């Protein structure tokens, strides 16, 4: 049987979501309103932060959060190159200069050392990315004395030292793109923070730089979380921990079925509870293995083969000589295998067996 890369389904919640969406359509409140306010309160409570500001998507969330933190044109923002392009794109759209730092290829995340090496007197903020559901050392990065904005788009529900991703820096951003651990029915995002001033600035910026629809104190954006999306997310948020637990069970099954004997599995730090947005291994022949798995109906994909600093639009900000060795290694060797709360143990066994055959005959 085929084993998809994303083993997720809303089938078990379909009826509840339909009923909730019907309530919203009957209310006639489609922009912001009570559903968005309720979701913002519920997500903030879940994360353990004081404020949540729903916005149009995860990319806008980063741009708005950086500006709310005081990042301005001419400022530098340190961020990894091994991430989705939007992290850097949003930084440029905030008027800042992206400064790319390296990652540890074992964790796929930045470290204090890689960030420190990229700091300059013009650095105004640090954006660690909690990639693939792992959690970067955001709290440790705060000791560097600069605002830390977590890009937590791929890590909803993950924890580090008992605190949830999103509650470790001065602020954090989330994406609710449908493939995420907490995914909606389309685009959506959020800025979360304990800082009341940052939250207030984010609320203004998402609504044309205005608090009252009449006086515009800043040039902002039209970026508001839709009520329909918020309603669906309210149905799904209570299931997040159970879904992540199922993902961790699948990750344990990979280890129990012998995957570490074949490939380098995701790195596990003792204080991190991984959310396994993706189950990403490393191997010297990732694309060959992906092709072999695809022939057997098994989803597998390499991510960010061309790191952001090597993308044409970012060439002007690439580090001298393009020297990010950890990033290049992570980009060259990674391969995502099937993962999701619907992944069954027999599916895991099939994937591991297919990997063993492919590597033995390749």
**In this predicted structure, what is the pLDDT of residue 67?**
98
Q: What is the pLDDT of residues 236-248, one digit of tens each?
A: 999 999 999 999 9
Q: What is the pLDDT of residues 29-84, one digit of tens each?
A: 999 999 999 999 999 999 999 999 999 999 999 999 999 999 999 999 999 999 99
Share of the chain above pLDDT 70, in %: 99
As a whole number, the mean pLDDT across the chain is: 96
**In this predicted structure, what is the pLDDT of residue 361?**
81
CA distances (Å), origin 209, targets 51, 69, 147, 189: 18, 15, 22, 18
Q: What is the pLDDT of residues 304-341, one digit of tens each?
A: 999 999 999 999 999 987 789 999 999 999 999 999 99
Section 180-193 average pLDDT: 97
Task: Report the alpha-carbon distance of residue 265 to residue 297 in Å, rounded.
Answer: 21
Please, are residues 276 and 253 in contact by the beta-carbon 8 Å criterion?
Answer: no
CA distances (Å), origin 20, targets 24, 37, 195, 312: 7, 15, 31, 43
**In this predicted structure, what is the pLDDT of residue 1?**
75
**Bridging pattern class, strands 163-164 and 171-175:** unpaired
Section 103-113 average pLDDT: 97
- Token pair of 113 as six digits: 């050392």
Q: What share of the chain is helix, strand, coil (3-state, %, to 5)?
A: 45, 15, 40
Those residues with Cβ within 8 angstroms of residue 293's Cβ, 6 or more apart along the chain or in another chain = 299, 300, 337, 351, 354, 355, 358
Check pLDDT > 70 for residue 301: yes
DSSP for 83-97, please give it. Answer: S-THHHHHHHHTTPE
> All domains of the chain, ordered by start, with CATH?
11-238 (3.40.640.10), 240-361 (3.90.1150.10)
**In this predicted structure, what is the pLDDT of residue 362?**
63
Section 78-96 average pLDDT: 98
Check pLDDT > 80 for residue 169: yes
Task: Report the alpha-carbon distance of residue 70 to residue 56 in Å, rounded.
Answer: 21
Check pLDDT > 80 for residue 351: yes
192: left (phi over 0), alpha (psi -120 to 50) or beta: beta
Section 214-232 average pLDDT: 96
Q: What is the pLDDT of residues 238-295, one digit of tens each?
A: 999 999 999 999 999 999 999 999 999 999 899 999 999 999 999 999 999 999 999 9
DSSP for 10-50, please give it. Answer: -GGGHHHHHHHHHHHHHHT--BSHHHHHHHHHHHHHHHT-S
Q: What is the pTM of this model?
A: 0.96
């Amino acid at each position: 049987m085929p084993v998809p890369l994303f083993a997720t389904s809303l089938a078990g919640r379909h009826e509840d979501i339909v009923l909730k969406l019907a309530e919203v359509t009957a209310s006639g409140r489609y922009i912001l309103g009570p559903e968005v306010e309720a979701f913002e309160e519920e997500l903030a409570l879940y994360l353990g932060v004081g404020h949540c500001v729903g916005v149009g998507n995860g990319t806008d969330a980063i741009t708005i959060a950086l500006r709310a933190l005081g990042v301005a044109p001419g400022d530098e923002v340190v961020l990894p190159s091994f991430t989705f392009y939007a992290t850097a794109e949003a930084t440029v759209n905030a008027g800042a200069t992206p400064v790319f730092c390296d990652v540890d290829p074992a964790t796929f995340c930045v470290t204090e050392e890689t960030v420190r090496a990229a700091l300059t007197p013009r650095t105004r903020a640090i954006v660690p990315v909690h990639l693939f559901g792992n959690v970067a050392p955001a709290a440790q990065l705060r000791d560097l004395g600069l605002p830390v904005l977590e890009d937590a788009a791929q890590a909803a529900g993950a924890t580090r030292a008992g605190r949830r991703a999103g509650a470790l820096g001065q602020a954090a951003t989330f994406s609710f793109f449908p493939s995420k651990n907490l995914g909606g029915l389309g685009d959506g995002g959020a800025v979360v923070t304990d800082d009341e001033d940052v939250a207030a600035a984010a609320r203004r910026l998402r609504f044309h730089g205005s608090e009252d629809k009449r006086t515009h104190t800043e040039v902002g954006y039209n970026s508001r979380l839709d009520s329909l999306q918020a309603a669906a997310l309210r149905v799904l948020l209570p299931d997040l921990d159970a879904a992540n637990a199922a993902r961790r069970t699948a990750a344990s099954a990979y280890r129990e079925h012998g995957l570490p004997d074949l490939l380098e599995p995701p790195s596990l730090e003792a204080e991190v509870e991984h959310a396994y947005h993706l189950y990403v291994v490393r191997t010297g022949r990732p694309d060959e293995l992906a092709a072999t798995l695809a022939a057997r109906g098994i989803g597998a994909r390499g991510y960010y083969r061309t790191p952001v600093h090597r993308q044409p639009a970012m060439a002007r900000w690439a580090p001298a000589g393009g020297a990010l060795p950890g990033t290049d290694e992570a980009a060259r060797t990674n391969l995502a295998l099937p993962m999701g709360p619907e992944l069954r143990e027999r599916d895991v066994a099939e994937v591991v067996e297919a990997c063993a055959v492919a590597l033995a005959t390749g």
